[in-house]
């Protein structure tokens, strides 16, 4: 029976691993493809080589979860077909094109679970392309996977729970953190009190991070408007406005981000219908509570299905796996489904609180100067977008891309789409949802021209 069921899971983070586990438990052998050399995703990323640090050092309060996830994945390793360091670059007709190094192969599947995760949502401001500026996620990767701080004197900036977590992890690891610059006002943090009922431990942990940072002399500022990062060849300082006054701090590295954005290219290539998620301020694949998309046999879980965090990723990965089994006519344990859905609903409520505590700086688009680079690949400026609106009447994102090259470069809009939407929407006086989203095209990431095809590509 399970011979006919040949699921493909893309992504071996918390969602992908839990989905795989559910399938394996019922004797189904999924293909699991992941870009990283080992499982865990970004949040529970594993080191390439073991070192002197413990799981507690690496993952802090989440060490038990990380270890459990890694052990789960190791435990099912011989019951899945696992392709690490492999990129799914195209999807078509129930088959994926996957490239490993310079070899590409076509992998047919009966069902598809997309667990593609998220990356930092960034907004440009002067100096954001300088060496020494990294995303918050990138700063965390440097520390956890590589044991490095992004600089000698580090400033963290932006919004979102990751801001305080990464700063705290840096301080614990012995890095020098000069400041944490939060774009949200302190009053926004009071929203967290609403979250005490839903996720008290998370809220308390957040406050503890902030308190410990301040206790160690890290300047924690709220209501910050970033003005620029100083430097010519690399970061020399950061300048911001706070309650009407300009401030500057010397530093040699800046880690920043404004929450996360889902990786949705494969869902788009799979033909899934998208909806605008007001909380994420972004388009994402439409899905039911179990992770079923609008395409039969295509499921989505984890942050790629909308930002909800690592715990939700594990739960939604398991739920998507169960949905696949249900749809394939296999019997599943319904009580477990109820538990998963209740927990997911609880986390979702808490995400509402987090969004109000770490709001997106919606005023950014009006304040950003014309000469700031918006698209760091093609080096297109904010003013080019405004000019396209003014001179050519552009009001849609793909049209903007066609006329200005924004989002057309190597990263395919991953780093600039959020900001381009904001600038475009502000310039043509529409809401962010009304200007659309970039249509995905293969290859979803760069692939070598000299690639050997094993079998026929999709």
Partner 1 sequence: MSRTLHRDVAVIGGGLVGSSAALALRRMGFSVVLLDKGFCGAQASGVNYGGVRRQGRPPEQIALSQRAHAIWPRLKDLIGIDGEFVRSGHLKLARTGAEMASLEAYAARVADLGLDLELIGGNRLRERFPWIAGDVMGASLCAGDGHANPRLVSAAFAHAARHAGVDILEHTPVSHVEKALDGFHLSASSNTDIKARFVINSAGAWAGPFAEAFGEPVPLYAIYPSMIVTEPLDVFMTVNIGAEGGGIYARQVERGNCIVGGMRGEPLAEPDFSRPTGSGAVTIMNRAAALFPALRHAYAIRFWSGTEGEMADRNPVIGFSRTTPNLIHAFGFSGAGFQIAPGVGEVLAELVRDGESRTPIQAFAIDRFARTTQGSRADNGPEPKSRETAQ
Partner 2 sequence: MALLKRLARHELPLVSFTLNGETCSGRAGDTVLTAILTQSDRLRLSDFSGNPRAGFCQMGACQDCWVLTSDGGRIRACSTVLEPGMNLRTITEPRS
Instruction: Give the binding range for partner 1 (CB under 8 A) out of 3-11, 309-317, 394-402, 426-434.
Output: 394-402
142 interface partner picked from partner 1, partner 2, none, CB below 5 to 8 A per type:
partner 2
> Per this entry, what is the length of the chain?
458
367 interface partner picked from partner 2, partner 1, none, CB below 5 to 8 A per type:
none
For partner 1, the closer of residues 221 and 405 by Cβ is 405
Binder among 208, 216, 243, 439 for partner 1 (CB under 8 A): 439
Closest distance to partner 2 from the beta carbon of 376 (Å):
6
- Interacting residues of 302 by C-beta distance below 8 A, sequence separation 6+: 11, 13, 14, 15, 16, 41, 115, 116, 117, 308, 312, 313, 316, 317
Question: Judged by CB under 8 A, does residue 453 bind partner 1?
Answer: yes
> What is the distance between the alpha carbons of residues 365 and 360, in angstroms, rounded to a whole number?
11
Q: Tokens 């095809």 identify what position? A: 453
Instruction: Give the footprint of partner 2 on this chain (CB under 8 A).
Output: 35-37, 42, 47-49, 51-53, 57, 119-120, 129-135, 137-139, 141-143, 145-152, 173-175, 233-234, 252-253, 263, 376-379, 409-411, 414-415, 445-446, 448
Question: Residue 438 has what DSSP assignment?
Answer: P
265 interface partner picked from partner 1, partner 2, none, CB below 5 to 8 A per type:
none
For partner 1, the closer of residues 279 and 445 by Cβ is 445
* DSSP reduced 3-state for 271: coil
CA dihedral 182, 188, 189, 191 (to 10 degrees): -150
Nearest Cα neighbor of 143 from 64, 135, 16, 158 is 135
Instruction: Give the binding range for partner 1 (CB under 8 A) out of 21-29, 36-44, 68-76, 408-416.
Output: 408-416
CB-based contact 240:227 (threshold 8 Å): yes
Closest distance to partner 2 from the beta carbon of 119 (Å):
4
- Other beta carbons less than 10 A from residue 101's beta carbon: 11
Closest distance to partner 2 from the beta carbon of 267 (Å):
16
89 interface partner picked from partner 1, partner 2, none, CB below 5 to 8 A per type:
partner 1
Cis-peptide into 443, omega within 30 deg: yes
Question: Judged by CB under 8 A, does residue 90 bind partner 1?
Answer: yes
Nearest Cα neighbor of 357 from 197, 203, 192, 210 is 192
42 interface partner picked from partner 2, partner 1, none, CB below 5 to 8 A per type:
partner 2
Question: Judged by CB under 8 A, does residue 412 bind partner 1?
Answer: yes
Rounded to whole angstroms, what are the CA distances from 107 to 65, 146, 291, 445? 31, 32, 22, 18
Write the binding mask 253 to 272 for partner 1: x where contact by CB under 8 A, - elsewhere. ----------------x-x-
> What is the distance between the alpha carbons of residues 194 and 328, in angstroms, rounded to a whole number?
40
106 interface partner picked from partner 2, partner 1, none, CB below 5 to 8 A per type:
partner 1
* DSSP reduced 3-state for 270: coil
User: Which residues of this chain interact with partner 1, rule CB under 8 A?
Assistant: 89-90, 92, 97, 104, 106, 269, 271, 392, 396, 399, 402-403, 408-410, 412, 439, 441-443, 446-451, 453, 456-458
């Amino acid at each position: 029976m399970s011979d006919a069921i040949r699921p493909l899971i893309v992504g071996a983070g918390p969602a992908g691993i839990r989905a795989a586990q559910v399938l394996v438990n019922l004797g189904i052998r999924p293909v699991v493809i992941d870009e990283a050399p080992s499982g865990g995703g970004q949040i529970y990323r594993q080191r390439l080589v073991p070192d002197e640090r413990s799981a507690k050092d690496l993952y802090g309060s989440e060490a038990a979860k990380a270890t459990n996830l890694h052990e789960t994945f190791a435990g099912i390793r011989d019951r899945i077909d696992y392709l690490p360091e492999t990129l799914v670059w195209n999807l078509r007709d129930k088959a994926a094109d996957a490239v490993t190094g310079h070899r590409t192969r076509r992998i047919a599947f009966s069902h598809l679970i997309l667990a593609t995760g998220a990356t930092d949502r960034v907004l440009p401001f002067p100096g954001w392309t300088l060496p020494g500026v990294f995303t918050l996620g990138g700063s965390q990767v440097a520390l956890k996977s590589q044991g490095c701080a992004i600089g000698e004197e580090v400033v963290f900036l932006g919004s979102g729970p990751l801001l305080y977590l990464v700063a705290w992890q840096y301080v614990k690891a012995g890095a020098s953190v000069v400041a944490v610059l939060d774009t949200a006002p302190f009053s926004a943090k009071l929203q967290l009190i609403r979250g005490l009922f839903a996720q008290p431990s998370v809220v308390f942990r957040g406050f503890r991070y902030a308190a410990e940072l301040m206790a160690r002399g890290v300047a924690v500022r709220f209501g910050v408007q970033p003005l620029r990062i100083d430097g010519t060849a690399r970061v020399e300082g950061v300048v911001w406005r706070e309650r009407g006054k300009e401030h500057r701090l010397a530093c040699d590295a800046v880690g920043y981000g404004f929450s996360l954005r889902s990786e949705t290219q494969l869902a788009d290539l799979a033909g899934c219908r998208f909806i605008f998620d007001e909380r994420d301020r972004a388009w994402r694949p439409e899905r039911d509570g179990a992770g079923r998309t609008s395409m039969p046999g295509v499921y989505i879980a984890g942050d790629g299905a909308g930002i909800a965090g690592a715990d939700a990723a594990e739960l939604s990965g398991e739920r998507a796996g169960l949905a696949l089994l249900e749809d394939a006519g296999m019997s599943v344990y319904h009580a477990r489904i109820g538990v998963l859905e209740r927990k997911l609903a609880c986390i979702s409520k808490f995400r509402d609180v987090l969004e109000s505590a770490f709001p997106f700086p919606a005023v950014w688009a009006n304040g950003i100067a014309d000469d700031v680079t918006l698209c760091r690949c093609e080096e297109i400026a904010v003013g080019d977008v405004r000019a396209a609106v003014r001179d050519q009447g552009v009001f849609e994102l793909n049209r903007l891309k066609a006329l200005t090259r924004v989002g057309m470069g190597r990263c395919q809009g991953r780093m600039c789409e959020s900001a381009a939407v904001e600038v475009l929407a502000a310039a043509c006086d529409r809401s962010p949802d009304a200007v659309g989203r970039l249509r995905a095209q293969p290859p979803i990431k760069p692939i070598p021209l000299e690639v050997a095809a094993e079998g026929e590509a999709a």
